[in-house]
Amino acid sequence: MDTTDLVLAILHHLLVFSLAGIIGAEFVLVRGDLPAATLKRLAGIDRHYGIIATLIVIIGICRVFFGLKGWEFYVYNWVFWAKMAAFIIVGLLSIVPTMRFISWNRQASSNPSFSVPAAELASVKTYVRAEGFIFLLIPVFAAAMARGYGY
């Protein structure tokens, strides 16, 4: 029994489910009407995205170094690196939506008649959809690497 490994695994799961919830919430919200209150909510939810993603990196790295299997189990495993690549791609795909949410929220606060430009909304929907899709690959890679696939 290893309490450190257990605690790290619990925190990792709670954080990744939170991130899934955030991506899901953004996915749904950008498909509805976008009054100022919703834009504010989107910007607020998205702020948590950055915090949760940072914590996932910290806890994930702790799992690599302080987990039961030892770092050698992961660093020579290509499925682990595929999982890291997918996580980085999701992060990169989130940059444009984050910038838009901040900008829309700022414009809606200063201009009550602001409405989100259709072209910007269409591109944000595409980015969030792509994020959600690539995100789904991460638990697939995680389950495979945890079971020793990838050498």
To the nearest 5 percent, what fractions of the chain are helix, strand and coil?
A: 80, 0, 20
Q: Is 139 in the site for ligand HEM (CB under 6 A)?
A: yes
Residue nearest to ligand HEM (CB): 60
Residue 36 · residue 109 · CB < 8 Å: yes
Q: Which of 57, 75, 92, 99 binds ligand HEM (CB under 6 A)?
A: 57
Q: Is 100 in the site for ligand HEM (CB under 6 A)?
A: no
**By CB under 6 A, which span of 22-30, 111-119, 121-129, 138-146 interacts with ligand HEM?**
138-146
Residue 109 · residue 44 · CB < 8 Å: no
**Contact string (CB under 6 A) for ligand HEM, positions 24-43, x = contact:** --------------------
Three-state DSSP class for residue 48 = helix
End-to-end CA separation in angstroms for the chain: 26
Q: Which of 69, 92, 117, 122 binds ligand HEM (CB under 6 A)?
A: 69
- Which tokens in the block code for residue 75? 């660093």
Q: Which of 56, 79, 108, 116 binds ligand HEM (CB under 6 A)?
A: 56
